[in-house]
Amino acid sequence: MRDFWKRFARNKGAVIGLGILIAVVLLAALAPLLYPDSPWRMVQRPFLPPMEMDGFWFGTDTLGRDIGAGLAHGARISLLVGIVSTLVALSIGVTLGALAGYYGGLLDDALMRFTEFFQTIPNFALAIVLVAIFQPSITSIVMAIAIVSWPPVARLVRGEFLSLRSREFVQASVVIGQSNARIILTQVLPNTLSPVIVMASLMVATAILLESSLSFLGLGDPNHMSWGYMIGAARTVLRQAWWMSFFPGIAILLTVLALNLVGEGLNDALNPRLARKGR
């Protein structure tokens, strides 16, 4: 564990990223305390510029809602959607990849065709269509993002399984008569964990970008404040009120950047053999 942290901390960007990420998580966790009111409530006059009134550092939007409250409550939605959709995508991708890589043959062929098909479809367009047809809600957004993000996981896990399957410790388990399910779950899968964790951290970042893009287009859950929605709603008053779209954008940028940096740090720490040059 200490080794892990030492390797992680050697990457300065990763430490900065982790710091930002912790701040965002705290903001999300403390949102109900910092802004107990609903972020949809009108609390001040509309179009209040930032830094002009105590307690409203980020100004208000076209309806007099506090942008600060929107930022805090939006953090919850971004993180929630990012994490849950990544977990769903991982469970699809790991299952299919493990089956394809472990059993090989016809099953592998079929599953890989299926994966390729999903990789070919333009993924943002598919996400739009899915959310529009199944009506915008947290569930449909999470499912849509998961459906467009699992293929790379399946390919990664399949590749790892292919190379691990022929290794001695796996062969030994076969010889002593362990069941396939047991070998997959207890022998091979734990060994694929490192690259999957690295990929997952990057997937959360992409999922947050996707969620914000969907909400921006008006496909967000209408019951929850989100950063993408805030920017989409402020788009028409861009010329009069820059702050309404500026701050939520910075929030997305920082969160996604932090996750990417942490992902690189995890890569350095978990795959030391592959540690990149130039550091």
Rounded Cα–Cα distance for residues 102 and 160 (Å): 9
Output helix, strand, coil percentages for the chain, rounded to the nearest 5: 75, 0, 25
Nearer to other proteins, 120 or 166 (CB): 120
CB neighbour list of residue 278: distance below 8 Å, 6 or more residues apart: none
Nearer to other proteins, 57 or 118 (CB): 118
Cβ at position 256, least distance to other proteins in Å: 4
Q: Pick from 52, 146, 42, 50: which is nearest to 91 by CA?
A: 146
Return the DSSP state at 239.
Answer: T
Nearer to other proteins, 117 or 169 (CB): 117
Cβ at position 139, least distance to other proteins in Å: 14
Nearer to other proteins, 157 or 205 (CB): 205
Residue ranges of the alpha helices (H) in 104-150? 105-120, 123-133, 138-149
Cβ at position 176, least distance to other proteins in Å: 38
Cβ at position 272, least distance to other proteins in Å: 16
Rounded Cα–Cα distance for residues 195 and 142 (Å): 23
Phi, psi (rounded to 5 degrees) for 188:
-85, -50
Cβ at position 173, least distance to other proteins in Å: 33
Cβ at position 171, least distance to other proteins in Å: 29
The binding site for other proteins (CB under 8 A) comprises: 13, 117, 119-126, 128-130, 132-135, 205, 209, 212-213, 216-219, 228, 231-232, 235, 238-239, 242, 245-246, 248-249, 252-253, 256-257, 260-261, 276-279
Nearer to other proteins, 89 or 202 (CB): 202
Nearer to other proteins, 66 or 264 (CB): 264
- What length is written for the chain? 279
Q: Are 89 and 150 in contact (CB under 8 A)?
A: yes
Q: Pick from 201, 207, 200, 199: which is nearest to 80 by CA?
A: 207
